[in-house]
Structure 1
Amino acid sequence: MDAHLVAAAVVVAAIAVVAVNNQPDGSRKMLREICRTDAAQSEMTARISASKNSCHDTDVAGCLYIMRHGRTDWNVLKKLQGRTDIPLNEEGRAMAENAREEYKDVHFDVCYCSPLVRARETAQIVLRGRNIPIIFDDRLIEMSFGIYEGVENAYKNPDCPMINFFSAPENYVPGKGGESFAELFARTGNFLHEVVEPKLAEGKDVLIVGHGAMNSSIICQVKKIPLANFWDAGIENCKLKKLL
């Protein structure tokens, strides 16, 4: 890995520690969460950049694509799904069929997919008949929202603690049983490092099929997007996004 990129990641982490220690006690927990997430992003971006630069040096560089699952009944009702295993509805299956036709000429060597049924079914429909391996990985499961899974319209309900998850992710504190952004970024960052980087270095074209929050965590790490702008990339159902 390029020494300058690694050094930059280390500097980010050091600045984060200083920032936390200079805050009042009541703010430290939230700031530590943000700093851990931002430091993980910086390190992962450095790793991927170094991997891609190395690939370009030898004219070998794979492409990285990402797609969110098709629509479900809970999407329609604007319910938080998280780890709750909700299947595609008929509209979602039709979306996946349309994506199959739209992206039939895009080359993929391998697909890595969340084990949840809505993502599994999407990948299977989109890649049907193409002889592309679909590998399920628990690190690609959707973010857990704990006790708030199944809650409707959380994004606009001022009385629901989940509102910060959408409007101010840098201030989000998970409820009981929920996953933090630091935990989400740690597992998806580990997946990028252990699985995606080597495949790209081999010149393989990789497709990831997953979920709104999980996909966004990958996009943020690859594209160097800060946590405050977590949702800026936009994650539409069954739309292919090329990241590298």
Structure 2
Amino acid sequence: MLYIMRHGKTEWNQQHKLQGRTDIPLNDEGRKMAEAAHTEYLDVHFDVCYTSPLIRAKETAEIVLRDRNVPIITDDRLVGMSFGCYEGLANSFQIPDCPINVLFKEPASYTESVGGSETFDELFARTGSFISEVVTPTINSGKDILIVGHGAMNSAIICQIRKLEISDFWSNGIEQCKLVRLI
């Protein structure tokens, strides 16, 4: 089985700031969300957990898997999607002509980097290599995987596994600290 989870809440989530690769820790609410997930998913079997190297994802994985003998392995390919110079920007949707908004509102039209942001091609290349080099062989060996990551990065994995069009990139609504079964 393959499961995926988005990290718990951070201060920047509460302030509606674009986080991307900025290394923001969980806040108290995010830790409580992870604690609730720890309890809710105690009966779900995982052989291994792969996580983003960013602290909010690693801490979520550590809390969710506390007291379980599940190795937690960081992989740089699972880092959050870079939003370039727009990281830290609050309430981008309230800025009508903000170039990064196309990524969220019209993903099929987001074909080039804006302000140093990561493109879908770059995001899909790195998450695709993780799927082919780590996920597929591990699943084929009969092991259950948990990936703990970020909204856009998780959506890229979901799109590839479920063979979704880029226009459906955000259609899965990745809730924080909720487990999604992919395979």
TM-score, normalised relative to structure 2? 0.98
The Cα of 1:154 is off from its aligned counterpart by 1.6
Q: Which has the larger radius of gyration?
A: 1
Give me the whole-angstrom Cα distance separating, in 1, the residues matched to 2:22 and 2:93: 18
Cα pair 1:66 1:209 within 8 Å, conserved = yes
Superposed structure 1 runs of 4+ greater than 6 Å apart? none
Give me the whole-angstrom Cα distance separating, in 2, the residues matched to 1:224 and 1:152: 32
Which residue of structure 2 lines up, in the alignment, with residue 50 of structure 1? Answer: none
Determine helix, strand or coil for the equivalent of 2:147: strand
RMSD of aligned Cα (Å): 0.8
Which residue of structure 1 lines up, in the alignment, with residue 73 of structure 2? Answer: 135
Higher helix share: 1
Give me the whole-angstrom Cα distance separating, in 1, the residues matched to 2:40 and 2:88: 32
Q: Which amino acid letter does the alignment assign opposite residue 86 of structure 2?
A: Y
Give me the whole-angstrom Cα distance separating, in 2, the residues matched to 1:185 and 1:155: 24
Q: How does 1:1-244 map onto structure 2 within 5 Å?
A: 63-172=1-110, 173-244=112-183
Cα pair 1:67 1:210 within 8 Å, conserved = yes
Give per-residue Cα distances to partners, 1:189-216, cap 9 Å, x unaligned: 0000000000011000000000000000
Q: Which amino acid letter does the alignment assign opposite residue 66 of structure 1?
A: I
Give per-residue Cα distances to partners, 1:40-72, cap 9 Å, x unaligned: xxxxxxxxxxxxxxxxxxxxxxx0000000000
Residue correspondences, number = 182
Give me the whole-angstrom Cα distance separating, in 2, the residues matched to 1:157 and 1:229: 23
Give me the whole-angstrom Cα distance separating, in 2, the residues matched to 1:156 and 1:230: 21
Determine helix, strand or coil for the equivalent of 1:187: helix
Q: Give the % identical residues.
A: 64
Cα pair 1:155 1:167 within 8 Å, conserved = no
Structure having greater relative contact order (Cα 8 Å, sep ≥ 6): 2
